[in-house]
Amino acid sequence: MNTLARYLVLCVFAVLQLCVAPLAHADKGINGNELYTQSDEALAATIAGYQRLGVKWVRFDFDWSVIEPAPNAYNVKGYDRVVERLARADIRILGIIAYTPAWANGGKSGKFHPPADAGAFARFAGYLAARYSARGVHAWEIWNEPNLGQFWGNAPDPAAYASLLKRAYPAIKKADPSAWVVTGGLAQPATSATAIDALAFLEAVYRHGAQGYFDAVGNHPYTSPRMPGELMAHNWRRMAAASPSLLSVMKRYGDGDKKIWITEYGAPTGGKDRWGTVIAEERQAIMVEQAFAEAAPHGWAGPVFWYNYRDFCPYRPEADSECFFGLVRFDGSLKPAFEKFRLAR
């Protein structure tokens, strides 16, 4: 083979390699929280920030208690506006279907209770899928951190959560066969009276018959102050590197080909907490960079959703650290992590 022919063969081979083995990357997502409450001006500014960051996905609550405060009385104007604006920006939505209105929770106080009737929740999920599929929303997360009593009536119940999946999944698929259903992102507590370890909860959900009623597993592998690549970053490693892991549980039940969507990950840069998770802004920037780099090479990893875009509060040392997970400070100025997120691939 002469030199020119060898060169042409190598060129063709290089092109084929790009086609069949593109550079690994994790889709960049951000948590949008209660976008429907923002004014038109604030929403436009937020979405412009997302575009500057190269955000591909936004995750936010489709809060049942807000949208259907009374049976069959839907309050969707604010949500329609957000969905329309994000569609214009070519940003996909992962909608969290969660939080029960008073009429559907069995008379309990507050929205952080499971529905008394899983069928009522399924009807609401089907309504959302039908309404928003035409507007480009095809991904739904069923609840948020269902293994924490904080979001499940003080005592998580994997059997009840499995029932919720088994009712909601077919309702969503009937309304939108192309929809993607993700389990509620799992928190990382030790098992107690008010919480269940993530692996134990997922195992129990499978045991209660939920296999086949979701398309991906949601997880919240917070590691702060440790970086995701550190050996002692147990929450991150328990997705796939440890034994057992979420992935090993999934494989045991025949779901090894499904992905784990990291629907929350981040760290606070100020305030007070009791867990020692507050880190410097410069370290948060390194964490952003490493999180996407750690997820990128793995076939099991779905999109990574940073928590969150903007701080909830002006800075005060005594404030709750929950205020300060943003890439952007409350006053709109940028933390160093903003640029690292923008550059992540």
- Please check whether residue 16 lies inside any domain of the structure: no
Residues sharing a CB contact under 8 Å with residue 342, sequence separation 6 or more, in sequence order: 52, 53, 54
Domain housing 97: 27-343
Greater pLDDT, 21 or 126: 126
Helix (H, G, I), strand (E, B) or coil at 230: coil
Residue 51 is predicted with a pLDDT of 98
Q: How many domains does the chain have?
A: 1
Residue 329 and residue 335 in contact, taking contact as beta carbons nearer than 8 Å:
yes
- Please check whether residue 191 lies inside any domain of the structure: yes
- Please check whether residue 21 lies inside any domain of the structure: no
Q: Model confidence over 5-61: pLDDT tens digits?
A: 443 333 333 333 333 333 346 799 999 999 999 999 999 999 999 999 999 999 999
What CATH number has the domain bearing residue 106?
3.20.20.80
Q: Model confidence over 173-199: pLDDT tens digits?
A: 999 999 999 999 999 999 999 999 999
Residue 213 has pLDDT above 50, yes or no: yes
Cα separations in angstroms, 234 against 83, 223, 287: 36, 7, 15
Residue 25 is predicted with a pLDDT of 60
- Please check whether residue 88 lies inside any domain of the structure: yes
Predicted TM-score of the model (pTM): 0.92
- Please check whether residue 198 lies inside any domain of the structure: yes
Q: If you average pLDDT over residues 83-100, what whole number do you get?
A: 98
Express as a percent the part of the chain with pLDDT over 70: 93
- Please check whether residue 276 lies inside any domain of the structure: yes
Cα separations in angstroms, 153 against 44, 107, 121, 140: 35, 12, 16, 22
- Please check whether residue 14 lies inside any domain of the structure: no
- Please check whether residue 154 lies inside any domain of the structure: yes
Residue 285 has pLDDT above 50, yes or no: yes
CA dist., res. 184 & res. 226, Å (int): 24
Place of tokens 């920037």: 285
CA dist., res. 257 & res. 302, Å (int): 12
